[in-house]
Structure 1
Amino acid sequence: MSKIALITGATAGIGEACAHVFARERYDLILTGRRADRLETVSKQLIAEYNVHVKTLVFDVRDREDVISKLEELPNDWKQVNVLVNNAGLSQGLDPIQNGSYDDWETMMDTNVKGLLYVTKVVSNWMITNKLGHIVNLGSIAGKEVYPNGNVYCASKHAVDALNKGMRIDLLPHGIRVTAVHPGAVETEFSLVRFKGDEARAKKVYDGFEPLVAMDVAETIWFAVSRPAHVNINELTIMPTAQATATNIFRK
C-alpha cells in the first residue's frame, strides 16, 4: 500500500480539507466522523478525483469503546498509519463561567481532550510497532490565550497544547514526530456548531475581515508533515492577516 493518513472529524471543514490534501499527495486515507452520509460523500469524491483507497469509520470520538473497537477491527495493512491528524473538535456556547452549561462543558472536554486521547493511544501504539509516524494535533489560538466567555473551550485547547508537548517527549525514543497547529479565525462549521445552528450569529463572527479557510490550515499541516524525516515542527500558529490575537481583529 501507499502511505496512509488517518484523519478524525473528516466530514467537513479542516478535516475534509486535510483529506483532499493528503489524497492529492497520494496517501490512502482512513476517515472518521459521526455523519455516515457525509463520510460516504467525501470518500466517493476522493476516490473519483485522486484514485486513492479510502476506509471510513463512523464513530464519535467521545465513545471510548467504539473508538477502540472500530480502529482495532481494521485489517493489519490499514494499521500501517504514517500520519494521524487529530482534527475532531468543537466549541459549544459562549457564556461566562457562572452561566455555562454542564452539557456543553462535557461535550467540549470529552471531544477535544478525551477523544483525542482515545484515538492517539491506539494509533501511537501502531506507530511504535511500525517504528515510524507523525501525529498532528489541531489546537487553536484558544490554546495559547484565554478570551472572555471562552473559559472551558480555552481550557480544552490548552490541554491539547500540553498533550502535544507531552506526546513529543513520550514518543521521542520511538522516532515519532508530533506537531500542533494552532489556527486563529477559520470560517468553517465551527461557529455554527458553537452557536447551535444560529446562522446569523455564526456569520457575524467573520464580518468585516477575511478569515482563514479550511484549506489554509490543511496546507499548513501538509507543510509540517512534508518536512524531511529529521525535521519536526513542534508547533505552528496560523492567523488571518487581519487578526493579531484571539480578540484583536481589524474589521473594515
Structure 2
Amino acid sequence: MHLDSDDGPFLSVVIPVFNEQATVGQVIDRVLATPWPKEIVVVDDGSTDGTWEVLQKWQGKQGVRLFRLEKNQGKGAALRFGFSQVTGKIILVQDADLEYDPADYALLLEPILEGKADVVYGTRFHGGPRRVLYFWHAAANRFLTTVSNMITNLNLSDMEVGYKVFRREILQKIRLRSNRFAFEPEVTVKVAKLGCRIWEVPISYSGRTYAEGKKIRWWDGIAALSALLYFRFFD
C-alpha cells in the first residue's frame, strides 16, 4: 500500500470527543507528531465543558478537520459521522482521553501495510505496558470478549479495545447502527461476518479512574452483551 496518493491522504484518524477539554489538545498534538501523511477528523459529540472552544486552535491547520454535533448522541454516532467524512485509505479510531498512545500507530498499521490484514485491533492484555486499575472492568471485558469469540468464531483477546484500524473499503461495506459504546461489539460482529483478515497487536494502555473522567458504566456492559447477540443473530 502506497503512502502517498493523488486521491486523498494515506491515513484518516477519527477522534470522537465528548467533554474532554483537558486532554483533547494533547491527543491532537500527539497524533500530529506521528510521521504518516494523514487527516485528523475530530467530531465533538455535543460537548458542554468548553471542548469545542479548545478545538478552535486547530481549525484548518495541518489536515485537522473539526465537526460538531449539536446534541450528544454517543461514541458510535460520532464515529459514524466521522467515517462519513474521511478520505484516507486507512481509518484509525483514536479516543480523546489519553488512555491510548499514538506512539503505537506503527504497530497498528504494520499488518495492513504488509498486506496481511483488513482490520487491526490493539490488545491491552498481551505485551504492552498498562496502568493497573479495576479488576471488575477487566473481568467484564474478558467475559464480553469470550462471548464475542463464541458467536463470531474469532479468538480476539480484547474485543472492547478502543484502538481499531480498518481499510477504508471494509467500513464502506458495513452499515453501523449503534450510538454509544456498543459500537465495539457491533463492528466486531460485522467484520467477522465479512470474513475480514483480522490481526491483533499489543499496545500500551493508561486507563483512567472515574475521578479522572472515565465515562463507561456497568450498564454499558449489559448493552454490549445485548448488542453482540442482536447483531449476530437478528441484524
TM-score band, normalised by shorter chain: 0.3 to 0.5
With structure 2 as the length reference, what TM-score do the two structures score?
0.39
Bigger radius of gyration: 1
Question: Between Structure 1 and Structure 2, which shows a larger proportion of helix residues?
Answer: 1
- Higher RCO, 1 or 2 (CA under 8 Å, sep at least 6)? 2
With structure 1 as the length reference, what TM-score do the two structures score?
0.37
